[in-house]
């Protein structure tokens, strides 16, 4: 079959986001600049106030609210997410500021095809408030990591990292802004190379 006629495995993305959606925006921009050969099928958000909804809607991307408060367990939340991802034919799940811990249910459904970005140089500073953790520790180099999601939080295989120097007067906000600049570069790049790795002929 001709390469161009073949459906690219893993290029149908489903984004899970809880916040402002700047990473979602960077991924969408990389797709429209043809740096990333993929398509965002749906953005799922769990917080009705999340800015990501508006950002995605402006780009014409379908959005679905799945509010974790409506589910009695993390597993039930994941089942609802899986149903929506299936409805939109998602092949690769992209967690972009998704503030919920995933369960075995989601991992069994997608295997290694769930990626996350975390604002630290893993394995340092896992979990919440990673940037504040780094400042409190007094590290001189911070950064961000794209990794495959596993059951243990912020612990799966590392795909891409970028380092950011910590400046003398940095606050969590100022450091986060510089880390996010790097996130917006490495996340689309990591997704592109992940998709190529799944099918090296792409």
- Catalytically annotated residues: 118
* 23 or 46: CB nearest ligand GRF: 23
Measured from the CB atom, is 97 or 188 closer to ligand GRF?
97
Determine if 14 is a binding residue for ligand GRF (CB under 6 A).
no
23 in contact with ligand GRF (CB under 6 A) = yes
Query: How far apart (Å, rounded) are the C-alpha atoms in residues 44 and 27?
Result: 15
Of 36-44, 113-121, 149-157, 161-169, which part binds ligand GRF (CB under 6 A)? 113-121
The residues near 146 (Cβ < 8 Å, ≥ 6 apart) are 115, 116, 117, 158, 159, 160, 161, 186, 187, 190, 191
Nearer to ligand GRF, 16 or 85 (CB): 16
User: Which residues make up the interface to ligand GRF (CB under 6 A)?
Assistant: 17, 19-23, 96-97, 117-119, 144, 180, 183
């Amino acid at each position: 079959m001709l390469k161009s006629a073949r459906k690219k495995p893993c290029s149908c993305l489903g984004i899970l986001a809880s916040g402002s959606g700047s990473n979602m925006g960077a991924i969408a921009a990389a797709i429209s600049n043809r740096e990333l050969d993929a398509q965002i099928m749906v953005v799922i958000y769990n917080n009705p106030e999340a800015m990501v909804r508006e950002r995605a809607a402006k780009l014409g991307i379908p959005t679905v609210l799945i509010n974790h408060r409506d589910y009695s367990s993390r597993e039930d939340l994941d089942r609802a997410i899986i149903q929506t991802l299936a409805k939109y034919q998602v092949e690769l799940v992209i967690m972009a500021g998704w503030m919920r811990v995933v369960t075995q249910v989601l991992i069994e459904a997608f295997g290694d095809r769930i990626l996350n970005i975390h604002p630290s140089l893993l394995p340092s500073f896992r979990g919440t408030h990673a940037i504040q953790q780094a400042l409190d520790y007094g590290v001189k180099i911070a950064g961000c990591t794209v990794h495959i999601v596993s059951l243990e939080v912020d612990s799966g295989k590392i795909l891409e990292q970028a380092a950011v120097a910590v400046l003398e007067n940095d606050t969590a906000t100022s450091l986060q802004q510089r880390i996010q600049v790097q996130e917006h570069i490495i996340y689309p790049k990591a997704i592109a190379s992940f998709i190529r790795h799944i099918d090296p002929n792409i």
